[in-house]
Structure 1
Amino acid sequence: MSAVTAQEETPLLGGDVTDGVVRVGDTVRRPTRPSTPSVHAFLRHLEAAGFDGAPRVLGLDAQGREILTYVDGESATAPLTDCAVTDESLAALAALLRRFHDASASFVPPPGAVWEAGSNDDADPEVIGHCDITLDNVIFRDGLPAALIDFDMARPTTRLFDVVTTLRHWAPIADPLDLEPLRRDLAVGPRLRLFCDAYGLASRERRGLLDLARLRFGRSYDSMRVKAATTGGGWARMWAGGAGERIRRARAWLETHQDELHAHLI
C-alpha cells in the first residue's frame, strides 16, 4: 500500500493510552507494539469464527502502522447520551461480550505469543479477553452496543475477569463522585444482575464476582502506577489525572456496598 499523506489522515481521539491513531478512508492506522502480531492473529481468528463485533486486520502500511477496518458507529464517550445507560444497552453489551468470549475460546495463540501486561485473575486462562471494555471501546449502532474496538490490552484471562472489568465501567462499580450525572444514580445492584443474566453467568461465578472485583482494583492500581512510571505516555497522563485515586475510591465504595450488591447477584 502506498504511503499516506498527512492531509488524508484524521486523528481519532478518545483513547487513553495509544497516541498517533488516525483514520484514513475506511481504515484506522495505529502504531504497532510487541503484542501486535498476537493481537492480529486473534482478530483474524475472530473473523474466521464469524464474530462480527471487532475490526478486521488489513496488514501494515508503508509507515509500519497496523491497518484495521474502521468500525462504523458511535462510542459512548462524553458527553454521554441516554442510550449508553439504558438497561437494554447493558443487556446487549452482555450478549455481545458472551458472543466474543465464545468465539475466543477456540483460539490457539501462535508460538511465542506476546500480550500486553496487565492485572489478571489467579485462575487458569479460559479465553483471550478484551480486558479494556471502557465507554470509549464500545461502538453503538441504532442505540445499542454492536462492536468492540481497541484490542491493545487483550490477553489470556478468565471470562469472569473480563466480565468484572466490563462491569467496572458499565454497571458501574465506582464512587458516584467520579461519574457523570447520567450514571451517578444508576441502580448498580440490579444492573449487575441484569448483565449476568444476559451473559448467562453461572451461579458459582456470580458468587465470586465482587471478590474478584476487589482483587482487580488492587492489582489495577499497582499495574497502572508501574506503567505510569516506566512506560509514560498515556499511562502517565491518566495517573497524573487522578486514575489511582479513582481506583481507590471505587474499591472503597465496593467494600461499603458489597453485601447489598451481592444480594442482587445471588
Structure 2
Amino acid sequence: MDDVVYIIDDLKTHDYGEFEWLWHPGGTWKKKGADVTVTQGDASVVIRPLYPCLLALSDFVHDYPEDLYWEAISAPTEDLKGTETYYSFHLPGKFDQIKGVTAIILKDSVAQKELPVMERREGKGWIGLRIRNKGKVTDIYINQLADGRLMHSNSWIEADGWVTDAYMFAVSYPEGDNPTEADELFLAYGSALRRDGVSYFASLSKLFFVQKAAGGDLNLWIDGQPYVNASFRSGKRPSRLIVNGEAMHVNYQNGLLDVKYKK
C-alpha cells in the first residue's frame, strides 16, 4: 500500500518457545530508534517492526513489550564458503502464540527523509494501524476473531464504526475527510462491510477485493471464489465499471453496484 509492504505473521506453536525474526539485509544496515534502514547502491528501504503483540486468547488483552531488541549474528553464507552478518529481532520470554506486523518502506531515494507516520491502534477483537503519508490517511484493521483460532465462533467485529467479518480490511481517504467518502478500499477474506446500517460490501461467499475510484471509473480486483455475486457501494454511478481488467455492464441502484462475475 503506497510503497509500503506490510508483512503479517500469525504464529502458533504446540509448545512454548522463543520467537525471533531474522533479516539478511544484503546492504548497509543502520538502526535509528525502531527503524532500520538498509541501503544498497541507489536503493534503500526502511524496516519498521510494529507488532509483536502478545495475545491472551481468553480475553484478547494485548501487551506491547518495550524491551524488544536487535542482535547482529555472524553465520555461514549459503554456499558455506564464508560468513555473513544477519540480524535477529527478539521477543523476550517464551510464548506459544504471536502476531507480528512489520512494515517495509520502499524509499524513492537514499536521501528521502520524509517517511509515513504509523500509529498502532486496537479495539475489542482487533488490532490495527493508522498511517499518515503525504496528506493521505490509511486505516488498517486486523480481525483477531477471524485468524482461525476461534473456529467455533463468529468473527464479527466493530472497528471505528465499521462492522465486518473480514480477516483484514483497509480504507484510504484524504486527511481531514470522512472515511465513508474513501476512494480506496481493501478487504481480505470477508463477506460483508457495513457502517451506520449502510452496506459497503456484501457477498454470498467470502472474497478478497480492492476497490478504487479514479475519475468516473470504478476499478475492482476480486479474488477468492470462481463465481462472484456481490454488491459494492459507490457514491455515484460510475461511467465505467472495470472488474479484474474487464469492462462490465454497470448495474447501479440505491448507491450499490451489483457484480456477477465468473473467473
Higher relative contact order (CA 8 A, sep 6+): 1
Instruction: Answer 1 or 2: which has greater strand percent.
Output: 2
TM-score by length of structure 1 reads: 0.29
TM-score by length of structure 2 reads: 0.29
